[in-house]
Amino acid sequence: MNAELILQARGLRKSFGALQAVDGVNLDLRKGDITGLIGPNGAGKSTLFGLIAGETRPSSGQVLFQGHDITGMKPEQVFRHGLARTFQIPRPFRKMTVLENVMCAAPNQSGERFWSNWIQPGVVAQQERENRARAEDVLAFCNLTHMTQEMAGSLSGGQQKLLELARVMMAEPRLILLDEPTAGVNPSLIEHLIDRVVELNARGVSFLIVEHNMDLVMRICARIVVMAQGRRIAEGTPAEVTVDRKVIDAYLGEVPA
């Protein structure tokens, strides 16, 4: 695997009956990049996310992450390898507090093993304190400290998107897949969410972002991958993609001014 690449997908295919949702997609993601994934509705973007994150088993093809073959792994296994994702529609534990939601995402918790609570109660308690402190730091980073004891179900759509980002941060992932992070989000929160993404990227976290907000994509993405009808039809810098005739015909409709 190229040392500069964090993820490679080769010949990924996924069929649902007669529908070829993802059709032989190759994808290279460079370490440290924010990469945009765009295309019309039904292009196969969310299915591709699912194949990479382990939620969907590919019909064929391979996914390599940091040199490891993660093809067909379960989502929790992929997560433990350092690859995390958020969802277009957030999935918090609605009847748990914001703090509890974030603490639940901490990896390798001793307290999850029943006997540890009896045999090593001191270790479990110490880890609980460390996870709480870490969760509080993450919530402060996401500007959610004032919501710590609120039920997650009471948060606005934008706050839930920030909560999802906070949860994946608990695992300190090297690559985060963001599925339409600004959809349904108040404009003021959009700017804060994007600031957090840019700050995490400056700390070395790579991103692959599905997003319909083209202004945002053009602003923060180093490279853009374009899909249509399950296939990758173009890839390049924002400037290159916006003048690509295949992209214009399939998605943009016209060259932006």
The structural domains of the chain, with segments of one domain joined by +, span 5-92+171-252, 93-154
Q: How confident is the model at residue 29 (pLDDT cuts 50, 70, 90)?
A: very high
Q: In this predicted structure, what is the pLDDT of residue 174?
A: 95
Q: Is the separation of the CB atoms in 92 and 86 below 8 Å?
A: no
The CA distance from 42 to 213, in Å, is 16
- Distance between CA atoms of residues 234 and 34, nearest Å: 17
Sign (positive/negative) of CA torsion 152, 158, 162, 167?
A: positive
User: Of the ranges 16-25, 187-196, 227-236, which one carries the lowest mean pLDDT score?
Assistant: 187-196
pLDDT given for residue 112 in this prediction? 52
Q: pLDDT > 70: what percent of the chain?
A: 89
**Which pLDDT band holds residue 257 (cuts at 50, 70, 90)?**
very low
- What's the token pair of residue 73? 């792994």
Contact between residue 107 and residue 80 where contact means Cβ atoms under 8 Å apart: yes
pLDDT, residue 88, reads 74
> Which tens digit of pLDDT belongs to each residue from 38-82?
999 889 999 999 999 999 999 999 999 999 999 989 998 999 899
**Which residue type, as a one-letter code, is found at position 52?**
I
pLDDT of residue 56: 93
How much of the chain exceeds pLDDT 90, in percent? 60
Task: Provide the pLDDT confidence category of residue 1 given band limits of 50, 70 and 90.
Answer: very low
Distance (Å, whole) CA 144 – CA 97: 12
Q: What is the pLDDT of residue 248?
A: 86
Contacts of 229 (CB under 8 A, 6+ apart): 23, 42, 43, 44
Q: What is the model's pLDDT at position 151?
A: 94
Q: CA geometry: angle at 88 spanning 176 and 162, to 5°? A: 65
Q: What is the pTM of this model?
A: 0.85
Higher pLDDT, 251 or 195: 195
* Main-chain phi, psi angles of 28, to 5 degrees: -120, 125
Q: Strand 223-228 and strand 34-38: pairing?
A: parallel
Higher pLDDT, 140 or 257: 140
Q: Cβ distance 35 to 210 under 8 Å?
A: no
* 3 state SS of 21: strand
Q: Fold for domain 5-92+171-252?
A: Rossmann fold (3.40.50)
Taken as a whole, the chain contains a residue count of: 257
Residue 93's pLDDT is 85
The answer to whether 155 and 163 have CB atoms below 8 angstroms apart is yes
| Tokens 């990227």, residue located | 201
- Residue 19, phi then psi, degrees to nearest 5: -85, 125
- What is the average pLDDT value for the chain, to the nearest integer? 87
Q: What is the pLDDT of residues 122-159, one digit of tens each?
A: 666 777 888 899 999 999 999 999 999 999 999 988 89
For the cut 80, the answer to whether the pLDDT of residue 218 exceeds it is yes
Q: What is the pLDDT of residue 84?
A: 93
